[in-house]
């Protein structure tokens, strides 16, 4: 029993009651305010990169959804030694007025979380988290202007995010003219950051983005620099990914119970047939029978134990893999165009694997390699990781892609490799995973989880690309060795001829004939 005491005729609260008075709900905004590292805002350097990444991802998704070849401008301007103003502008379809505040100043708000369709964004956190970070570090609002058509007015907003309620606060709102712009969106925010060049930089991110998105033009101005352009290398838009229903083997028991409660279907058989992919009416009836359930039972009345039985039968049933038109790979031709556009190599090869499945989620692995040319031959090969066309720059050691590259026996493909390490030499390896739901290891979306199915597919793609690379490398080595032998013949044959001439007493004509014969014999033996 809780201990209470009387003080002056009044009952004193127990310790438990005092503790209960302090309990209160925490909003998602408050949580991420104190745990910003979960979203990729660990430090000022990474915060700058994450902000640009989230804005560019949104722009690319919006353009592709409306079949527009993307043109994206990214400007970074220092306002003080520790603060930067980031401006990102696109030529996308624009955003309708009433959606602008929630998209940019409300965490976990978006159109992509509940649908099974390949896209760069998944959680509805990214750009609003960047706005929150800017607000926390500078106190300044995010500014957005968006226009949905040539005759429409542009809508301008300045927004803060209320961390207690996770709702947008409109600081300023007005209609504006946006001359010379038919449609598109421009955002601007100021934040505490740190700019650097080279590895893990914004510069590197945009170059990698240009490789995996050759249909995109990117204009980038780094702090204190002239603007540079990553020109479009292809006018072919990515194949549109279709939205699919969940696969029954891709859900867990808790989700199945929720779906049973939420469905509009009147019967259990109808629920299995219409709310999932790859479940025919006959298969649904068989599953119900094996689970000991009446196929015409109301889904909302299925008890927890019955749902458990249903779940077990589903996992044991043979169900066709989910459709794969929900994913849109880059494709071998486009990968090569992107790689050739940005990487100066002497040999290129690309491989797109057939679609596969992990936990009921379809995915597809692609690999491209560049070798030689201006690629540095010092040190380890460079591995560029992608998920749904987005470069993954951090947490390489925790990623399934890196593990797969290390586990591949590159010596079999004429590439040097130390035990337990990446291959070495003038080599760039590009690995792309396309999926309706990429299994990231954290909310910051920096590394892919090591599911056995994913590692297997990455290794198979690497091996196929490795075989193409090995053919080239071995041929190159053979040509080099033949050239070396030929140079030896040309260098020492005249000296050999003089010696033979003196020993055998040959005249000039006989010496010449003898040298021609020797050269012919040696040429044959070097091959």
Determine phi and psi for 271, rounding to 5 degrees.
Answer: -60, -50
Q: What share of the chain is helix, strand, coil (3-state, %, to 5)?
A: 40, 20, 40
When the pLDDT of each residue in the chain is averaged and rounded to a whole number, the result is: 90
Instruction: Please list, residue by residue across 153-190, b when 16 or more beta carbons sit within 10 angstroms of its beta carbon and e when fewer do.
Output: ebbbbbbbbebeebebeeeeeeeeebeebebbbbbbbb
Q: What percent of the chain has pLDDT over 90?
A: 72
On whether residue 14 sits in a domain, the answer given is no
Q: What is the pLDDT of residues 235-256, one digit of tens each?
A: 999 998 888 899 998 889 999 9
Alpha-carbon torsion (320, 322, 323, 328), positive or negative: negative
Dihedral angle computed from the Cα positions of residues 486, 487, 490 and 496, in that order, rounded to the nearest 10 degrees: -90
On whether residue 23 sits in a domain, the answer given is no
Last residue of a domain, one of 470, 489, 516: 470
Q: Are residues 175 and 139 in the same domain?
A: yes
On whether residue 270 sits in a domain, the answer given is yes
**For residues 405 and 430, what is the distance between their CA atoms, to the nearest angstrom?**
10
On whether residue 226 sits in a domain, the answer given is yes
On whether residue 326 sits in a domain, the answer given is no
pLDDT for position 71: 98
| Residue 426: pLDDT over 90 | yes
The DSSP symbol for 98 reads: G
Reported confidence tier of residue 5, pLDDT bands at 50, 70, 90: low
Q: Are residues 512 and 413 in the same domain?
A: no
- What average pLDDT score do residues 125-150 get? 94
Q: Are residues 48 and 107 in the same domain?
A: yes
E runs forming strands in 293-381: 347-352, 356-358, 361-371
| Rounded alpha-carbon distances, angstroms, from residue 527 to 270, 472, 487, 496, 521 | 71, 18, 14, 21, 11
On whether residue 72 sits in a domain, the answer given is yes
CATH number of the domain within which 104 lies: 3.30.565.10
On whether residue 418 sits in a domain, the answer given is yes
Last residue of a domain, one of 258, 282, 316: 316
pLDDT for position 42: 86
Q: What is the pLDDT of residues 252-308, one digit of tens each?
A: 999 999 999 999 999 999 999 999 999 999 999 999 999 999 999 999 999 999 999
Contact by Cβ (8 Å): 387, 438: yes
Counting the structural domains of the chain, the total is 4
Contact by Cβ (8 Å): 157, 94: no
- Residue 465 structural domain: 332-470
Reported confidence tier of residue 329, pLDDT bands at 50, 70, 90: very high
Residues 6+ apart with CB under 8 A from 177: 153, 154
**For residues 489 and 494, what is the distance between their CA atoms, to the nearest angstrom?**
9
Contact by Cβ (8 Å): 93, 67: no
Q: Which of 12-16, 83-87, 193-197, 382-386 has the lowest mean pLDDT?
A: 12-16
Q: Are residues 393 and 432 in the same domain?
A: yes
pLDDT for position 58: 93
**For residues 96 and 295, what is the distance between their CA atoms, to the nearest angstrom?**
44
**For residues 178 and 169, what is the distance between their CA atoms, to the nearest angstrom?**
24
Q: Are residues 85 and 223 in the same domain?
A: yes
**For residues 306 and 298, what is the distance between their CA atoms, to the nearest angstrom?**
12
On whether residue 12 sits in a domain, the answer given is no
Q: Which of 16-20, 321-325, 438-442 has the lowest mean pLDDT?
A: 16-20
| Helix/strand/coil for 372 | coil
Q: Are residues 262 and 407 in the same domain?
A: no
CATH number of the domain within which 266 lies: 1.10.8.50
Q: What is the pLDDT of residues 167-210, one digit of tens each?
A: 999 999 999 999 999 999 999 999 999 999 999 999 999 999 99
Q: Are residues 372 and 289 in the same domain?
A: no
End-to-end, the C-alpha distance of the chain in Å comes to 95
Q: Are residues 223 and 78 in the same domain?
A: yes
| Residue 502: pLDDT over 60 | yes
| Helix/strand/coil for 364 | strand
Query: According to the 3-state scheme, what is the secondary structure of 256-312?
Result: HHHHHHHCCCCCHHHHHHHCCCCCCHHHHHHHHHHCCCCCCCCHHHCCHHHHHHHHH
pLDDT for position 476: 86
**For residues 386 and 432, what is the distance between their CA atoms, to the nearest angstrom?**
5
Q: Are residues 98 and 75 in the same domain?
A: yes
Q: Are residues 53 and 164 in the same domain?
A: yes
**For residues 127 and 104, what is the distance between their CA atoms, to the nearest angstrom?**
6
Reported confidence tier of residue 421, pLDDT bands at 50, 70, 90: very high
pLDDT for position 274: 96
Q: What is the pLDDT of residues 294-323, one digit of tens each?
A: 999 999 999 999 999 999 999 999 999 888
pTM of model > 0.75: yes
| Residue 76: pLDDT over 90 | yes
The two structure tokens encoding residue 325? 């038109």
Last residue of a domain, one of 316, 340, 364: 316
| Residue 489: pLDDT over 80 | no
| Helix/strand/coil for 229 | strand
| Rounded alpha-carbon distances, angstroms, from residue 512 to 141, 311, 455, 495, 502 | 88, 88, 63, 13, 13
Contact by Cβ (8 Å): 155, 100: yes
Determine phi and psi for 311, rounding to 5 degrees.
Answer: -60, -45
Q: Are residues 290 and 312 in the same domain?
A: yes
The DSSP symbol for 25 reads: -
Q: Are residues 456 and 479 in the same domain?
A: no
Query: According to the 3-state scheme, what is the secondary structure of 164-207?
Result: CCCEEEEEEEEEECCCCCCCEEEEEEEEECCCCCCCCCHHHHHH
CATH number of the domain within which 433 lies: 3.30.230.10
Reported confidence tier of residue 3, pLDDT bands at 50, 70, 90: low
């Amino acid at each position: 029993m809780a201990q209470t005491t009387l003080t002056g005729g009044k009952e004193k609260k127990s310790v438990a009651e005092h503790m209960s008075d302090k309990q209160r709900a925490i909003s998602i905004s408050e949580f991420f305010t104190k745990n910003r590292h979960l979203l990729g805002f660990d430090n000022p350097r990474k915060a700058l990169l994450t902000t640009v990444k989230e804005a560019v991802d949104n722009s690319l998704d919006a353009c592709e959804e409306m079949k527009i070849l993307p043109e994206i401008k990214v400007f970074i301007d220092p306002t003080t030694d520790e603060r930067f103003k980031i401006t990102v502008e696109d030529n996308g379809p624009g955003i309708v007025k009433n959606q602008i505040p929630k998209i940019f100043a409300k965490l976990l708000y978006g159109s992509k979380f509940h649908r099974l369709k390949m896209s760069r964004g998944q959680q509805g956190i990214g750009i609003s988290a960047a706005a929150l970070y800017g607000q926390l570090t500078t106190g300044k609002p995010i500014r957005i202007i968006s226009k949905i058509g040539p005759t429409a007015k542009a809508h301008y907003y300045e927004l803060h995010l209320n961390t207690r309620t996770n709702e947008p606060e409109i600081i300023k709102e007005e209609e504006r003219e946006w001359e010379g712009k038919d449609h598109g969106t421009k955002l601007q925010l100021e934040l505490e950051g740190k700019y650097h060049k080279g590895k893990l930089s914004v510069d590197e991110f945009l170059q990698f983005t240009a490789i995996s998105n050759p249909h995109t033009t990117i204009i980038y101005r780094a702090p204190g620099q002239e603007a540079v352009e990553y020109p479009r290398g292809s006018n072919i838009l990515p194949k549109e990914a279709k939205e699919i229903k969940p696969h029954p083997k891709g859900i867990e028991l808790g989700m199945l119970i929720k779906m049973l409660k939420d469905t509009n279907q009147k019967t259990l058989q109808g629920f299995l047939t219409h709310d999932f992919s790859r479940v025919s009416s006959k298969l649904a009836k068989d599953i119900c029978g094996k689970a000991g359930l009446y196929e015409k039972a109301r889904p909302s009345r299925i008890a927890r134990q019955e749902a458990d039985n249903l779940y077990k039968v589903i996992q044991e049933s043979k169900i066709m893999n989910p459709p794969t038109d929900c994913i849109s790979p880059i494709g071998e031709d486009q990968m090569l165009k992107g790689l050739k556009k940005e990487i100066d190599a002497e040999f290129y090869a690309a491989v797109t694997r057939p679609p596969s499945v992990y936990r009921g989620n379809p995915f597809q692995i692609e690999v491209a390699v560049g070798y030689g040319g201006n690629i540095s031959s010092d040190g380890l090969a460079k591995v560029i990781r992608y998920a749904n066309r987005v470069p993954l720059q951090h947490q390489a050691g925790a990623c399934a892609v890196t593990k797969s590259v290390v586990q591949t026996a590159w010596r079999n493909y004429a590439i040097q490799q130390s035990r337990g390490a990446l291959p070495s030499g003038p080599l760039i390896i590009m690995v792309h995973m396309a999926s309706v739901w990429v299994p990231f290891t954290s909310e910051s979306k920096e590394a892919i989880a090591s599911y056995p199915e994913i590692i297997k597919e990455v290794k198979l793609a690497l091996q196929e690309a490795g075989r193409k690379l090995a053919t080239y490398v071995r041929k190159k080595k053979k040509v080099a060795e033949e050239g070396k032998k030929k140079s030896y013949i040309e260098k020492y044959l005249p000296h050999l001829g003089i010696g033979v001439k003196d020993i055998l007493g040959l005249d000039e004509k006989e010496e010449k004939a003898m040298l021609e014969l020797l050269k012919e014999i040696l040429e044959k033996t070097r091959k």
